Amino acid sequence: MKHPKQPPSNVDRQLSGLAKVRVEAEITNLQRRLELYSIDSEFVDIGMLQSFKSMIDTRRQWLSGLPTSF
């Protein structure tokens, strides 16, 4: 059985929760922009698509490192 990650003692739980909410919103925003860019662009720039995907993946990795219980 996995135990939820416990934040280090110097991590403010309220600030961690706020950071989580903001990162989740940013991921959603990036996903929407990626979809719009993919649909609306006459010429799809593969580099731009990869950049969006990379930003989304990086934020998901960072998010997974935040404490899960508050």
Q: Would you say 14 and 20 are in contact if contact means Cβ atoms under 8 Å apart?
A: no
Q: What is the pLDDT of residue 69?
A: 57
* Local confidence band at 70 (pLDDT 50, 70, 90 cut-offs): very low
Reply yes or no on whether the pLDDT at 15 is more than 90. Answer: no
The answer to whether 5 touches 64, Cβ cutoff 8 Å, is: no
Please give the Cα distance from 49 to 8 (Å, whole number).
36
pLDDT at residue 16 above 90? no
**What is this structure's pTM?**
0.70
